[in-house]
Amino acid sequence: MEWERFDWLIEAALREDAAGEDATTGALVAEDREAEAEVRSGGIGVVCGLPLAGRVATRFDARIRFEECVRDGDRVSAGTVVARLGGPAASILAVERTMLNFLKKLSGTATLTACFVEKVKGTQARIYDTRKTTPGWRELEKYAVRCGGGCNHRMNLADEALIKDNHLALMAQEGAGDPVRRAVDRVRAARPGLKVEVEVESLSQLEEALAAQPDVIMLDNMTPEQVREAVALVARKCGDGGRPELEASGEITLENVAQYARAGVDRISIGALTHSAPAFPLSLDIGG
Domain residues of the chain, as ranges? 3-117+277-286, 119-275
Architecture of domain 119-275: Alpha-Beta Barrel (3.20)
pLDDT at 237 over 90: no
Structure confidence at residue 177 (pLDDT) = 76
- Catalogue the E-assigned strands of the chain: 34-41, 45-46, 65-68, 75-76, 81-88, 126-128, 161-163, 196-200, 216-220, 245-249, 267-269, 282-286
Q: What average pLDDT does the chain have?
A: 96
9-13, 74-78, 173-177, range with the lowest pLDDT? 173-177
Please write the tens of the pLDDT for every residue from 248-259. Answer: 999 899 999 999
What positions carry a catalytic annotation?
A: 97, 132, 164, 199, 220
pLDDT number for residue 40: 98
Give the confidence band of 288 by pLDDT, cuts at 50, 70, 90: low
Q: Which CATH class is domain 3-117+277-286?
A: alpha beta
pLDDT in tens, 172-194: 898 777 899 999 999 999 999 99
